[in-house]
Amino acid sequence: MSFLGIDLGTGSLKVAIVDEHGRELAVASVAYTLETPHAGWAEMSVQTWWRALCEAASRLPQALRSDVRAIGFSGQMHGVVLIDAAGDAVRPAMLWPDTRALGLLDAWREPQANPVAPGMAGPLLRWIVLNEPHAAHRTRWALQPKDWLRVALGGAVLTDPSDACATALADPAGVWDTALLARLEIPREWFAPLAPSYAAGGVLSQTAAQALGLRSGIVLATGAADTPCAALGSGLARDGDALLTTGTGGQIVVLAGQEPTAAKGLHRYRAASDHWYRMAAMQNVGIALERVRGWLSYEWADAYREAFGEANAIALNGASVDVTTSAFGEAGSATSGRASEHTHGAVAHATSLTFLPYLTGERTPWLNPSARGGWLGLALEHTRGTMMRAAFEGVAFSLRAGLDAIRASGATVTTLKLAGGGSVDARWRQLLADALDVELYAVDCPNAAPRGAAILGGLASGHWHANDLAALAPGATRVAGPQGDSALAERYARFLDLYGRVETWFGGTADR
């Protein structure tokens, strides 16, 4: 007996099969590229998603596919897919990086339970009503991405609280805000009924089963948004459990048994279980470091070596090995044998240099889409290594600012589970532990979101129950702890001071 999890991401679709004990048996993924027909737009044809699903499923062993008893779904948050009464897409899906509705955010003038961003379903649907009346006229349902996929597989038209509460059209519990919809002139009848993430949401159709090489009639879970699915797959099961993910952006998620109090800059959303979670969302982690690496003409191995002053190594099962693979990008070239350019001076000289990483604006804690980045404090003695080191510190400090917002909201966070493709370098992990003042534990689960989705499938089919979730948590290994670096703490204080001094220079702030 096994369960299939499908994670419909922004840049790829991933599938994973787990066994009856929650152990991963097979995984496959297919990448795709966002469509940008106009500046600021981010769209995707649903047929691209469908082809990616069929291709990814075909890469799984047929014997394992034949044993799948249920399917669960994880999907990118915030975007929206419009379908007609026959289930056909009215237009390409609009996704969370889309900024076309930036000028419409004033419609959310009243205080909201969560920050409102232009790529959320609410602003995007308001834009459709105002600018594409023909599409609005054809629309029967406005679905979240993972809900479209479930419907395409033969499932019911449903959504779950974890996705609904992140649309800017529902209350924190995920219940549709009828008064807000009326004020925005968005039809209430477009929105799907709510069901728990772990509830059964129909069964796999014969047509879809043939396309995927699965048995028809197996249970489809309602599913959840990707962040709560990743939290579930990473083993967050109890009040206070916390997870840091680092990739293009960064998220810090802290599970809560009761609805958290509102706090500026933080999201409070429903989890995939019956819990809630606080979330700090930072936009500039891997994306900022990758851009700095390119500006400084580094291969990744050299960037780490010169920024941290020693040979590149990663922590792997408690050991350190030399590698040439980037922690944030593609595989880099082998580290050369030449002496680095003022290598050991990079760390020392970075003490006089501050880097703001806000190349794409920032959400937590500033809520400022106009925020921008750069170095301040450059001097003639500074090198590429100095600048790269300051960039690593600036990104770590931006994550600390998000964690500080969570701590200020009442959550005590001293330990973080660590996940994400940009978190494997040993010195980067140590810098994070020092900057965040936490113990870091690497989760033994590289595919947390599809694993969480598969667990939802097991719950929907009755194989697992809510009290089994803690026992399903994957292993986690301590990889770093804070060393009480007072100089780093001083540089963090200067980082905050610098942002406060230049914020008005960026040309405006958001306060939603």
Residue 352 CA to residue 401 CA, distance in Å, equals 20
In this structure, are 147 and 25 located in the same domain?
yes
Could you give the CA distance from residue 267 to residue 166 in angstroms, rounded to a whole number? Answer: 9
Domain that holds residue 163: 2-227
**Which structure tokens are listed for 477?**
């290994």
| H/E stretch holding 238 | none
**Where is 410: in which H helix or E strand?**
none
Instruction: State residue 423's pLDDT score.
Output: 67
Residue 53 above 90 pLDDT? yes
Kindly report which listed range (20-29, 346-355, 384-393, 402-411) carries the lowest average pLDDT score.
346-355
Kindly give, in sequence order, each residue whose CB lies less than 8 Å from that of residue 23, ignoring residues fewer than 6 positions away.
none
**Predicted confidence band at 337 (pLDDT cuts at 50, 70, 90)?**
very low
Give the 3-state secondary structure of 65-123.
HHCEEEEEEEECCCCEEEECCCCCECCCEECCCCCCCHHHHHHHCCCCCCCCCCCCHHH
pLDDT computed for residue 347 by the predictor: 53
**pLDDT tens profile 234-269:** 999 889 999 998 888 899 999 998 888 888 889 899
Q: Residue 313 above 80 pLDDT?
A: no
Q: Are 125 and 63 in contact (CB under 8 A)?
A: no
pTM, to two decimals: 0.84
* Bridge pairing between strands 242-246 and 415-419: parallel
Q: Is residue 473 part of a domain?
A: yes
The closest alpha carbon to 27, from 421, 449, 316, belongs to: 449
The pLDDT of 187-198, averaged and rounded, is 97
The dihedral built from the CA positions of residue 475, 477, 478 and 480, taken in this order, carries a sign that is negative
| Among 99-113, 310-324, 439-453, the range of highest mean pLDDT | 439-453
Q: Are residues 169 and 305 in the same domain?
A: no
Q: State whether the Cα torsion 332-333-337-340 is positive or negative.
A: negative
CATH code for the domain in which residue 32 is found? 3.30.420.40
Q: Between the CA atoms of 58, 63, 67 and 72, what dihedral angle is there, to the nearest 10 degrees? A: -20
For residues 9 and 249, the answer to whether their CB atoms sit within 8 Å is no
The answer on pLDDT for 343 being more than 80 is no
Is residue 275 located within the same domain as residue 293? no
271 pLDDT exceeds 80? yes
Report how many domains make up the chain. Answer: 3
Cβ atoms 260, 196 nearer than 8 A: no
pLDDT confidence of residue 112: 72
Separation CA 195–CA 33 (nearest Å): 31
Q: Residues 29, 78: one domain? A: yes
Do 316 and 354 fall into the same domain?
yes
Same domain (yes/no): 165, 176: yes
Q: Are residues 392 and 419 in the same domain?
A: no
Q: Give dist(CA 70, CA 461) in Å, integer.
A: 6
> Residue 321 pLDDT > 80, yes or no?
no
Of 10-14, 204-208, 251-255, 344-348, the one with minimum mean pLDDT is 344-348
Give the number of other CB atoms < 10 A from CB of residue 1: 12
Do residue 106 and residue 130 come from a single domain?
Answer: yes
Distance CA 471, CA 202 (A): 27
CA atoms within 13 A on the CB side of 431: 23
Radius of gyration of the chain (CA): 23
Domain end among 398, 424, 451: 398
Confidence of residue 351 (pLDDT cuts 50, 70, 90): low
Kindly state whether residues 25 and 158 are assigned to the same domain. Answer: yes
Domain assignment of residue 19, yes or no = yes
